[in-house]
Amino acid sequence: MENHANIIKTEHLVFSYDQADGALPKTVLRGVDLEIEKGTFVAILGHNGSGKSTLARHFNAVLLPSGGRVLIAGDDTADESLVIEIRRRVGMVFQNPDNQIVASVVEEDVAFAPENLGFPPEEIRNRVDEALKTVGMYEYRLHAPHLLSGGQKQRIAIAGVLAMHPECIVFDEPTAMLDPRGRESIVKIIRDLRDNHGVTVVLITHHMEETIDADRIIVMSDGEIIMDGSPKEVFVDIDTLRKTGLDGPETVTLLHDLKADGFNLPLDALTIDECAEAIYASLREQRSEKEE
């Protein structure tokens, strides 16, 4: 038996596609080796065109590698007979909620995936109700999706994926089109899924703040992984991060700038509370030095 502690594993994954005008094929991923452990919360960062979304689409066999392999719990995504099971295991939530809702009634939409999987009606009903309750949209089950807010629509999309009972959910910039309140509700759900439902979460995002309580951050640039570690490890190295066109969370940026001005501060205070605490401690230290 293979070790399936890793839900997702890529082995020297290469992806390139032919360009329309007959130019040289464009290589988007240049040999990505990655293992994602079950039950973890992994964030993937990178600027536009870094290949992060392309990488994500390999996780549920929407794209197939040009070279190398992608294994989902040991199953090769290139094996056509396993595609449906792989897609059930690894659900995907996309950026634009409008373009992933299929039906004109909320509960019908959530039922779409289990209907495709051929479950009996009672089982579908249970899964739909359970998924809608998990994202807090049960009261809206008979509403028309186009009358809901962006955040609510995105919650419906998440419920639609949850109804498959996936082991892992890949979120591809799920908050990019939402207002701050909608974004907050989605981030809360993502956290809840990892903490209370045992779902492995892969979050692709631009917003550094959303990655602070990830177990692991992967930074991509130009089709390669250039940083990989805990949020503290990644954000402390803010210079490398900035070279890829990204920036740290506001807290780290603030600490970094203060440090450059001569304050004695740690860089790994990621949350607002930790950051405030660190600045307070530093200021007290300075004062006691002066008093001496």
- The residues facing 41 across adjacent strands are 201
**Nearest residue (CB) to another protein, 19 versus 116:** 116
Q: Which of 144, 198, 233, 264 binds another protein (CB under 8 A)?
A: 144
Residue 117 in contact with another protein, rule: CB under 8 A: yes
Q: Given candidates 70, 124, 178, 201, which one binds another protein under the rule CB under 8 A?
A: 124
Beta-strand ranges (E) seen in 143-215 are 168-172, 200-205
Within 38-144, strands assigned E span 41-45, 67-72, 75-76, 90-93
Q: Which is nearer to another protein, 69 or 125 (CB)?
A: 125
- Interface stretch with another protein, choices 71-79, 134-142, 144-152, 194-202 (CB under 8 A): 144-152
Reading the block at residue 80, the tokens are 């056509």
Q: Which of 62, 177, 226, 279 binds another protein (CB under 8 A)?
A: 62
Rounded to whole angstroms, the Cα distance separating 117 from 258 reads 55
**Cβ neighbours for 18, distance < 8 A, ≥ 6 positions apart:** 25
Name the one range near another protein by CB under 8 A: 85-93, 207-215, 232-240, 261-269.
85-93
Of these, 161, 199, 265, 278, which contacts another protein (CB under 8 A)? Answer: 161
- The SS3 call for residue 85 is helix
Work out the burial of residue 217: count CB atoms within 10 Å of its CB; fewer than 13 is exposed, 13-18 middle, 19 or more buried: buried
Instruction: Give the residues lining the site for another protein (CB under 8 A).
Output: 57, 60, 62, 84, 87-88, 91-92, 94, 96, 98-105, 107-108, 111-121, 124-125, 128, 144-146, 157, 160-161, 164
